Structure 1
Amino acid sequence: MDTALRRSGNGPLNGIIVADFSRVLAGPYATMMLADLGATVIKVESPGGDDTRLWRPPQRDGEATYYLSINRNKFDIVLDFTDEDDLAVAAELARLADVVVENFKPGGLRRFGLDYDTVVKTNPAVIYSSVTGFGAGNPQPGYDLLIQGLSGFMSLTGDAEGSPYRAGVAIFDVMTGLHTTIGILAALQHRMASGEGQQVETNLLSSAMSGLVNQASAFIAGGVVPHRMGNEHPSLYPYQPMPTGDGELIIACGNDRQFAMLAAGVGRAEWLEDERFNTAVPRNAHRRELEPLLIEALSHKSAQEWYELLTASGLPCAPINTVQEGVELAQKMGLEPVVEVTTGDRTIPTVRNPIRMSATPVTYDYAPPALGQDSDAVRAWLAQLTERSAERPASQGPGAEA
């Protein structure tokens, strides 16, 4: 492998080549996960660049922080698919890759000969991952906000008597990215055992259905249509933010033992003798009777005071932090949430990958790339691989010796 594109460390995906034809969030999030685990990811952008390069503010030195959040550890090449020479480079990259990831509208790459049916003819061992909004048979474009509305998620979010709200993060894009990563890793394992490649398909709406978990099951298995309850939980109480003498405190009683901790912690042991409150099902049914008693008990201290006191007793609870306070808390707890990644004289602080591996740790080799910064290096590297690919059995996978 050209040393200019070499990854450091011994990540579990070292030597795996990923052709990343995706943009915006779900696809790039998945390919960053693969890159963090050691894969060599080639991000292919149009001359105009990934849409998220223009999604600012916020920004850092003129670069959109949105783009910076999901493109670490990648090499970048600009290719115009309407240009014959550039399209030939894209086709060669797809031919030599172990994994291809794309999130064009269904069939969008067919006219360029970069669709699965075409790529697999010259690269039979390829893992070809397609991310769409609504599945391969539905051509409409998918954005997370649309999925939050269409899936039913927004009908569950917000005050009971108020308007539906979207989540503050594109949760189904991120979830689909994770599902895509899982599918690719499973397909790579299958190829290792059998030599066979395959197509991996994910879509935002299916990921949303899966991600609605108990709320989707309430309808599918229970015939109940869930509805907005503000911050309350349909099956547990208390499991929500509660007012205190100063600020709100999130209390999460997932079982009767934790409710006993709460009752003892706020000095209301008599609740444990009350058949309305001492076990989960009646407590849930009588939440409106317990609520004013709990609010009164919590009114004697601030949220921070209760947090320190109740956490010490083992009760799951938390104040409501800003993002800044959340990062600072993670730092205080030794989780090292921020990692700086450097390419040349350019250093970008990014969020640490959440996966910790004892034998094959995540590596942070390259800052999110500038548009086209590796175009020459990638072309030279592809030329090297092209020369060697004829000597490699197809069952090994194109990147097996890279």
Structure 2
Amino acid sequence: MLDDLFVLELASVLAGPSAGQFFAELGATVVKVENPKTGGDVTRRWRAPGAEQEGEQNDRSAYFCCCNHGKRSIALDLSTERGQDVLHDLTREADVALASYRPGTAKALGADYDTLSAVNPDLIYGHVTGYGPERKRAGYDAVIQAESGFMHLNGDPDGPPTKLPVALMDVLAAHQLKEGLLVALLNRERGGGGAYVSVSLFQAAVSGLANQATNWLVGGHRPQRMGSAHPNIAPYGTAYPTASGPPVVLAVGTDRQFEALCEVLGLPDLADNPNFSTNTARTGHREALNRVLEARIGQFECDALLEALHERSVPAGVVRDIPAVFEQSTAEAMMINPDEDLAGLRQVAFPHPDDGSSSLLPPPHYAEHTASVLRERLDCSQERVDALARENVVDR
């Protein structure tokens, strides 16, 4: 789909690399530029306990594999003049550059938008920062979760603020970055030229507050921790134990769905109770409603209850652990190279026959493609590659 697109990835960790993998899945050539002084992307060494790999080149952690399929790795020292020259030569060939430098750092490395766009005016430059291009403060997901309100809202009402179990702020920023880059590419196709696309983790997080933000901004309601409950809907999100199997979670968004739920549970009069007959009434009497539902749902076998709820189009599901998630066919279909040891999760959720995902390269070893990229993209001779390596400009 995007076979002619050449992407330079100067980003690390999760947000920028996720955008790079997105383009790789759509067929683009994505070259990941890594720092020889640090041994490449720091996530190469972010391993869960017991996840150590054997072998000499133990540099592809599960974390790294989640967002680096389909890429080529080149190790290039941008603190050197010759390293910057190589980057600029590659930039002349590039369509998109992805960066996650703190403001000010990129300029010292010759990798900022002004420098690279002077080399290639048609370049689209996607920049992920912590707090915006004017603030030099580094952004880390856990801190952003705290400062954007997510930790305050997450957890039980009587428990402490709790971080979400994934780096969701990075994930949100990656989606916004992809959207901005695609719009910029479309604009360039229409004659608009290159562009600077800036996304920050903090702004992505605040925009992700959605209804929790407008509950405060519009309604003056100060959101608080509610466990799994929803501030605007009931019953929605709470897990109810069953007589067998995992807990059931309901997502009842309409009064008609609540009526159907009550019929399935054998409690038809509950839907006529003025305390529960409308969503507004149910949110106002949430605790009383939960007591009734918990007692009744606890009498049902899990599978039988789910089948009955699905037949009546009542939104419901079960709480699954991660292994159980990937027993579902829909989740299995999202896996990259599911038969390989280094399988990952698709960033493109809509499989396309021409998106290149079926033949994606595995996540690259550090500096695995330095020599081949220099030869193929810049027509470097082997002698020049050897000279750059001797001068510590590149690793290979």
TM-score, normalization by structure 1: 0.87
Question: Which residue, 7, 17, 23 being the options, matches 1:18?
Answer: 7
Q: 1:51 matched to which residue of 2?
A: 42
Q: Kindly indicate whether the alpha-carbon contact (under 8 Å) linking 2:62 and 2:342 is maintained by their aligned counterparts in 1.
A: no
Matched, 1:36 2:25: yes
CA distance in 1, matches of 2:214, 2:241: 31
Q: C-alpha displacement at 1:235, in angstroms?
A: 1.0
Q: 2:200 matched to which residue of 1?
A: 203
Q: 1:117 matched to which residue of 2?
A: 114
Q: How does 1:151-190 map to 2 (within 5 A)?
A: 151-190=148-187
Q: Kindly indicate whether the alpha-carbon contact (under 8 Å) linking 2:3 and 2:29 is maintained by their aligned counterparts in 1.
A: yes
Q: Per-residue displacement from partner, 1:19-55 (whole Å, max 9, x unpaired)?
A: 1000001100111111111111100001111000010
Q: How does 1:310-349 map to 2 (within 5 A)?
A: 310-329=309-328, 331=329, 333=330, 336-340=333-337, 348-349=342-343
Question: Which residue, 79, 87, 93 being the options, matches 1:90?
Answer: 87
| Structure 1 residue ranges, 4+ long, deviating more than 6 angstroms after superposition | none
CA distance in 2, matches of 1:313, 1:220: 36
Instruction: Indicate the larger mover: 63-72 or 347-356.
Output: 347-356
CA distance in 2, matches of 1:322, 1:234: 25
Closer, same or farther: CA 356–383 of 1 in aligned 2, 3 Å: same
CA distance in 2, matches of 1:353, 1:301: 38
Question: Which residue, 61, 67, 73 being the options, matches 2:70?
Answer: 73
SS in 2 for 1:321: coil
Letter in 1 for 2:203: S
* Number of matched pairs: 369
CA distance in 2, matches of 1:365, 1:26: 20
Q: C-alpha displacement at 1:114, in angstroms?
A: 1.5
Q: Kindly indicate whether the alpha-carbon contact (under 8 Å) linking 1:32 and 1:72 is maintained by their aligned counterparts in 2.
A: yes
Q: C-alpha displacement at 1:279, in angstroms?
A: 1.6
CA distance in 2, matches of 1:139, 1:353: 29
Identity %: 33
Q: Kindly indicate whether the alpha-carbon contact (under 8 Å) linking 1:238 and 1:252 is maintained by their aligned counterparts in 2.
A: yes
Q: C-alpha displacement at 1:60, in angstroms?
A: 6.5
Gaps of 5+ in 1: 1-10, 386-402
Q: C-alpha displacement at 1:79, in angstroms?
A: 0.6
Q: Kindly indicate whether the alpha-carbon contact (under 8 Å) linking 2:21 and 2:347 is maintained by their aligned counterparts in 1.
A: no
Closer, same or farther: CA 312–53 of 1 in aligned 2, 3 Å: same
CA distance in 1, matches of 2:331, 2:145: 34
Matched, 1:355 2:344: no
Q: C-alpha displacement at 1:281, in angstroms?
A: 1.1
Q: C-alpha displacement at 1:309, in angstroms?
A: 2.8
Closer, same or farther: CA 347–237 of 1 in aligned 2, 3 Å: closer
Matched, 1:306 2:305: yes
Q: Per-residue displacement from partner, 1:51-80 (whole Å, max 9, x unpaired)?
A: 000101253734310001100000110011
Letter in 1 for 2:288: E
SS in 1 for 2:248: strand
Q: C-alpha displacement at 1:302, in angstroms?
A: 3.5
Q: Kindly indicate whether the alpha-carbon contact (under 8 Å) linking 1:341 and 1:367 is maintained by their aligned counterparts in 2.
A: no
Q: 1:99 matched to which residue of 2?
A: 96
Q: Kindly indicate whether the alpha-carbon contact (under 8 Å) linking 1:304 and 1:319 is maintained by their aligned counterparts in 2.
A: no
Letter in 2 for 1:269: P
Letter in 1 for 2:132: G
Q: Per-residue displacement from partner, 1:281-329 (whole Å, max 9, x unpaired)?
A: 1122122222222122112123344223322332111111001101102
TM-score, normalization by structure 2: 0.88
Matched, 1:244 2:242: yes
CA distance in 1, matches of 2:222, 2:216: 5
- Alignment RMSD: 1.9
Q: C-alpha displacement at 1:334, in angstroms?
A: 7.9
Instruction: Indicate the larger mover: 243-252 or 315-324.
Output: 243-252
